[in-house]
Amino acid sequence: MSARQRPTVLLLIPHLGGGGSERVIEALARSFDPAKYSIHLGLITAAGEKVKPFPSTVLVHQLRASRVRIGAIKLLRLVWQLKPDLIFSGISHLNLLVLALKPLLPRSTRIIVRQNGALRASLNCYPRSVSRRAHSLGYRRADRVICQSEPMAREIRRCLAVDQSRLLILPNPTNIARFRNHGLSKYEPVASLPTLLAVGRLVPEKGFDILLHAFASLLDLPISARLTIVGEGPEARRLQELSEALGVSDRIEFAGHVHDPVLRFRHASVFVLSSRTEGLPNAMLEAAAAGLPIVATPASLGITSLLRNRKGVWLASEITPNALRAAIEMALTSIGPGVRYPHAWIEPFDLCHAIPAYEAAIDQVLAETIS
């Protein structure tokens, strides 16, 4: 099939320096079959920084907008230049921009959006009076809305009135072999104490303040540990000040942005998810693929249904410092240094399963375009 005959698919994210949602779209761009699609990756706010090498079959477009919403004109120009058969957007605020622009796009262009986190967190990013209506009007314009779990799909259907036929539940694509190579076979402690590892953007939804309070109370017990928090964000200074106020700053490393968090897995004893609200975080899936013991809050029904009663997983009873501390304590007293678990429940997220599912969704939407 010639390049002209292949459907053109434009994947969109703000940039490549973000978290799990950006890595999902990056994985799709790298993994989609170039014999089936002409693959383009649009980076809305990338300002000319060096982009990691992609296969020659993926064309990368850096729009250099200062913010996502300011990139509307540049995005329109790119779309009309490429005239893609399908646009795939993977971040909620970018989803809303793409869907708002739909009347200005080529009529044949179809749109798939992926809800990258809990809907409640997305709605809280905007004034309450307009947020739900904007999301509802926008998401009902999408040809498909991809959700990470059945509870997420139910929430979107109930809150945004999106038709069931437009909702898809697809697994987050995870390179399980890569993470297992960095986790299951290697444990390299950097201190004599066990290390708790948390990864995520430093924002209130991720509950790192809950984790700090839990960690501080943990040290009142006959248990010693260290904590590494990987990520950056607007809460960074407040969290550092909180660690000092709690008297635990000497036991905590705020690592900031780490280009490849997987490199931290080999040094970790336990991975901790402390979120108040979540979809299905990639950092947790990657840590599970690496075999780390998992401690998590019940941050969504999707998380609790996935993790409940799993070996090597300690699920807190509620989203509070005391409950999280109890789960961490139970994990640390139950495992030895460097213990790893196979976590067979991670298998459906492997690239070999997830990528064909995403391609099937694209093919179905493109077939509807022709009919």
Partners of 229 in beta bridges: 198, 254
CATH label, 8-173+351-370, candidates 3.20.20.140, 1.10.10.10, 3.40.50.2000, 3.40.50.10790: 3.40.50.2000
pTM across the whole model: 0.86
Token pair of 183 as six digits: 């986790």
The Cα–Cα gap between 153 and 136 comes to: 13
CATH of 176-348, picked from 3.40.50.720, 3.40.50.970, 3.40.50.2000, 3.40.980.10, is: 3.40.50.2000
d(CA 223, CA 269): 14
Query: 77 Cβ partners below 8 Å, 6+ apart?
Result: none
Distance CA(140)–CA(167), nearest Å, equals 10
Listing from the earlier edge strand, what are the strands of the sheet with 226-230? 252-256, 226-230, 195-199, 270-273, 294-296, 313-315
**Residue 139 neighbours by CB under 8 Å, 6+ apart:** 95, 99, 113, 145, 156, 160, 162
Do the domains 8-173+351-370 and 176-348 sit in the same CATH topology, yes or no? Answer: yes
Compute the radius of gyration of the chain from its Cα atoms: 21
| Residues sharing a CB contact under 8 Å with residue 73, sequence separation 6 or more, in sequence order | none
Q: Which residues of 100-109 are buried (b: 16+ CB within 10 A; e: fewer)?
A: ebbeebeeeb
Three-state SS at 15? coil
* Beta bridge partner(s), residue 112: 88, 144
Query: Tens of pLDDT along the chain (371 residues)?
Result: 444 589 999 999 988 876 778 888 999 999 999 999 999 999 998 655 566 789 999 999 999 998 888 899 999 999 999 999 999 998 888 999 999 999 999 999 999 999 887 777 666 655 555 577 888 888 999 999 999 888 889 989 998 999 999 999 999 998 888 888 765 556 676 677 899 999 998 999 999 999 999 999 987 777 789 999 999 999 999 999 999 999 999 999 999 988 777 788 888 999 999 999 888 888 999 999 999 999 999 998 889 999 999 999 999 999 999 999 999 999 999 998 889 999 999 999 999 999 999 999 999 999 996 55
* CA distance linking residue 348 with residue 173, whole number of Å: 9
Listed by start position, the domains of the chain span 8-173+351-370, 176-348
CA–CA gap between residue 316 and residue 313 (Å, rounded): 10
